[in-house]
Every structure is written in C-alpha cells, then in structure tokens.
C-alpha cells in the first residue's frame, strides 16, 4: 500500500511557504507520492479578477514544486469545467489508486472547517487528513479538535512537523506591483511572473540589474549603471516615469555583447524586420534585439521597449522617454569626449536641441571613422535640426 498525499489550493501564486509545507509533508509523513492539485474553479473563494487563470496557475505550480521530491502537479481540477469539490477529487483519485492511503493535507484553518465542507463527514470517515500547524500552540489546539474528529467520524489524523514560512498569497499579490516580494517566491516562479507581468508585477530593481549585468561584458557594466542613473535624473527633471526610465537604462544593452550571427539568430527568433545595413551591423541590431529580449523575457512596457529600439539611431518624433534614453546613453557620467559638457547642459534645458546636438555629434563621429550612417539617424537629424518637434509625452 502506498501513502499518497493530496495538497490542494489556488496557489495564486505558489510561494515558498507552499513549497516548504509540501516538502515537510513528504518527509514527515513518509509519502510515496505527493499530488499537488491547483484548483480550477474553487468553490470556497473567488479568484480575484485579472489574476492568472487556472492554466497559468498550473504552470506556476509546476515551476514551484519541481524541487520537491516525489511531488507531481496534477491538472485534474484545472481541466475540469465544474467547481472543484475536494470529495470529488478524492473519489477520482481513490478509483485510480485502490488500496492506497490517501492523505488530504490541509492548513490549520481548513482543518477546523472540515466538517462543514461538502461531504466533510465522508472525507473524515474515508480518508486520512494531515493538518499542518503553524506553531506549537496551534498544534495543541488542532490535536484537541482531532480527538473530536476521531470520536465522531473515526478519522485518521496526522500532524507532520512543517517548516513555517509566514506569508500569504494575498500579501504577495499586494507586494508585486510595488517591486516587492521576490524573496517570498521560488526563483522560477518570480521570473515567470515578471516575464509576463502577472498580478501587475514590476521587477525588483536589484534582481533586474543582476539579470541584466549577467548578460553583459564586465567592461560594459559601468556604462549601463551610468546610463540608468542619468536616465532616472533626466526623467525626474522632465516629469517622466523614473521607474520606466530605470528599466530602460538597465536593459538597453542586454544583447550588446552578441556578435552579428547571434544578433541575426535573435532577429529570426523574434521575427524582427531589419534592413540591409542592419543585417551587417551588430551595433545597429543590438537595439532591436535588446528591445525584443526586454519585452519577451522581462515583460517591459511598450514605451520601454520602444525607447530601447531607438536608443542607437534615434528617429523623428521620439517620445520623451525615447529621447531621455538616447541622451542618457550618449552622455552618462563615464563618457568623456569633446563637446559633452554642452550636450549635458542642453539636456536639462531643451531636449529637442540636445537631440539635434547629440545626433550631429554621432554623425560626425561615424563619418570620421568612415562608418555607414543609418538613414533613420539622418532623418532624425533633419527632424530635430528643423526645430519642429513638439512632443510632450
């Protein structure tokens, strides 16, 4: 006879507390299998509007519990179109595991309410229950309740020692849009939440820098740090979103170290349309590929992705954030070349005049080095030199 644990919940999102509880149950109960069962349509509470659906929570759960020995994540309830009552799931498992001991794993709060569940008396008579207590005092309280369950229903109740990780999914959902809560989630879960910006999540800046810097040559990191700092200063001065400016600064060069072949592979992967000049220039391509990676792997907004796209060539009619990143990249604190003081001064007086000067300096440098000039740079130069830009956002 096998001992099989069933650990259900909405897992919205699955966090480190869930994982520790699952690992504790496997270890303390001596389970042969642990079946993690994300709910599709939970009968006892609504999944908040705008939160990930069942399939998305299932994917997150598979990431979260991959590290737990003997654990497997089932799609049974998520695949169901009906409300997911525990008795139905237990009956389904019982039919597939005849003769095995099925142990329903619950937290203390759920254990207290078990008799009130649909067919709760049947659950207590036919299946074992493991109650995970948060602390010794709660375990004593639940042990007293278990005696009542044994007397009334003949229940088999276990109290596995669980590692305590005091956090709730509700708390995490509240933290994620504030760039908080990373430490409460398994790394793969946090990465996926940020990639898809689930729960309105925004990345922890330290985490984002760590990921971005790992993609750079070490010699480029000081430039990227300087670009972020300057972009934030310019954004604050001109009333732009400083957090979006920071994300753009951190991520703008994430594909810079790739050679031309690597850049072209990314273009194919992300269906990036390029012209003949870009097809032979890794320097030009890193802006487009960097924007695509920032969008697909880090979930940045369209505004941030577009700023990264145009931070090398510029373009006519740039948004304020696009201008800020272009100029921050050009004149961040580690840069040092003739004419830079004037450019820095203009950046805090008139962004359009600063763009005209920056573009002129860039074109002059390219000509001096006998490099091809991208047509978009020439168009941007003509546009900003004419003084006709009136962008306010």
Nearest CA-CA partner of 7 in 43, 33, 30: 33
CATH of the domain at 63: 3.40.50.620
Q: What is the pLDDT along the chain (393 residues), one digit of tens a residue?
A: 899 999 999 999 999 999 999 999 999 999 999 999 999 876 666 677 778 999 999 999 999 999 999 999 999 999 987 788 999 999 999 999 999 999 999 988 889 999 999 999 999 999 999 998 776 667 788 888 999 999 999 999 998 887 778 788 999 999 999 999 999 999 999 999 999 999 999 999 999 999 999 999 999 999 999 999 999 999 999 999 999 999 999 999 999 999 999 999 999 999 999 999 999 999 999 999 999 999 999 999 999 999 999 999 999 999 999 999 999 999 999 988 888 999 999 999 999 999 999 999 999 989 999 999 999 999 999 999 987 655 544
Statement to judge: residues 132 and 24 lie in one domain? yes
Q: What are φ and ψ of residue 37, in 5° steps?
A: -125, 90
Residue 248 shares a structural domain with residue 311? yes
Strand 3-9 relative to strand 33-38, pairing = parallel
- Please check whether residues 212 and 348 belong to one and the same domain: yes
- 141 and 279 both lie in a single domain: no
Rounded CA-CA distance 193/317 in Å is 33
Would 142 be classed as within a structural domain?
Answer: yes
CB-count exposure of residue 347 (10 Å: 0-12, 13-18, 19+): buried
User: Are both 57 and 128 inside the same structural domain?
Assistant: yes
Exposure string for 45-64, b = 16+ CB within 10 A, e = fewer: eebeeebbebebbbbbbbbb
What is the end-to-end Cα distance of the chain in Å, rounded?
A: 67
Q: Are residues 30 and 116 in the same domain?
A: yes
In the numeric block, which tokens belong to residue 197?
Answer: 């910006």
pLDDT value for 224: 98
- Residue 198 in any domain: the answer is no
Answer for the pair 38, 9: CB distance below 8 angstroms, yes or no.
yes
If asked whether residues 113 and 212 sit together in one domain, one would say: no
Q: Strand 71-73's sheet: what is its strand order?
A: 71-73, 33-38, 3-9, 101-107, 128-132, 157-158
Neighbours of 175 (CB within 10 A): 19
Sort 292 into a burial class: Cβ within 10 Å, 0-12 / 13-18 / 19+. Answer: buried
pLDDT for 393 equals 42
Domain that includes residue 36, residue range: 3-183
Pairing state of beta strands 33-38 and 71-73?
parallel
Strand partners, 101: 3
Which residues are CB-neighbours of 176 under 8 A, at least 6 positions away?
193, 198, 199, 200, 201, 202
Predicted structure pTM score: 0.93
DSSP-derived secondary structure for 257-290:
T--HHHHHHHHHHTT----TTGGG-HHHHHHHHH
Q: How many domains does the chain have?
A: 2
Shared-domain flag, residues 165 and 252: no
Closest CA to 106 of 86, 89, 92, 135: 86
> Does any domain span residue 196?
no
- Name the token pair of 20: 């520790």
Bond before 370 cis per omega within 30 degrees: no
* Pairwise CA distance, residues 64 & 20, whole Å: 10
φ/ψ of residue 36, rounded to 5? -90, 130
């Amino acid at each position: 006879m096998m001992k099989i644990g069933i650990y259900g919940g909405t897992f919205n999102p699955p966090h480190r507390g869930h994982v520790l509880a699952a690992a504790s149950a496997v270890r303390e109960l001596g389970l042969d299998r642990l079946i993690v069962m994300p709910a599709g349509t939970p009968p006892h509470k609504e999944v908040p509007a705008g939160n990930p659906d069942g399939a998305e929570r299932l994917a997150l759960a598979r990431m979260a519990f991959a590290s737990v020995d003997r654990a497997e994540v089932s799609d049974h309830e998520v695949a169901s179109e009906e409300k997911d009552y525990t008795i139905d799931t237990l009956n389904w498992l019982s039919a597939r595991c005849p003769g095995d001991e099925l142990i329903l794993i619950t937290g203390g709060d759920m254990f207290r309410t078990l008799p009130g569940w649909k067919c709760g008396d049947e659950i207590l008579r036919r299946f074992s229950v493991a109650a995970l207590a948060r602390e010794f005092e709660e375990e004593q309280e639940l042990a007293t309740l278990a005696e009542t369950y044994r007397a009334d229903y003949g229940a088999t109740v276990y109290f596995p020692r669980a590692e305590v990780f005091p956090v709730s999914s509700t708390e995490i959902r509240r933290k994620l849009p504030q760039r908080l809560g990373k430490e409460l989630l398994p790394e793969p879960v946090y990465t996926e939440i940020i990639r898809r910006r689930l729960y309105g999540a925004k990345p922890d800046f330290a985490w984002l820098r760590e990921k971005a810097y790992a993609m750079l040559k070490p010699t480029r990191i000081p430039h990227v740090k300087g670009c972020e700092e300057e972009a934030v200063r310019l954004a604050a001065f001109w009333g732009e979103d400083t957090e979006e400016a920071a994300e753009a600064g951190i991520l703008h060069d994430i594909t810079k170290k790739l050679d031309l072949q690597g850049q072209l592979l990314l273009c194919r992967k992300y269906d990036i349309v390029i012209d003949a000049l870009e097809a032979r220039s890794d320097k030009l391509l890193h802006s487009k590929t960097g924007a695509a990676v920032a969008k697909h792997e880090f979930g940045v907004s369209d505004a941030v992705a577009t700023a990264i796209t145009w931070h090398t060539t510029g373009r006519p009619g740039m948004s304020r954030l696009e201008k800020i990143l272009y100029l921050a990249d050009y004149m961040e604190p580690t840069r040092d070349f003739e004419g830079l003081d004037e450019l820095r001064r203009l950046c805090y007086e008139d962004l359009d005049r600063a763009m005209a000067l920056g573009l002129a300096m860039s074109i002059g440098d390219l000509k001096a080095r006998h490099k091809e000039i991208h047509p978009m740079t020439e168009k941007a130069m003509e546009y900003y030199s004419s003084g006709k830009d009136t962008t306010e956002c």
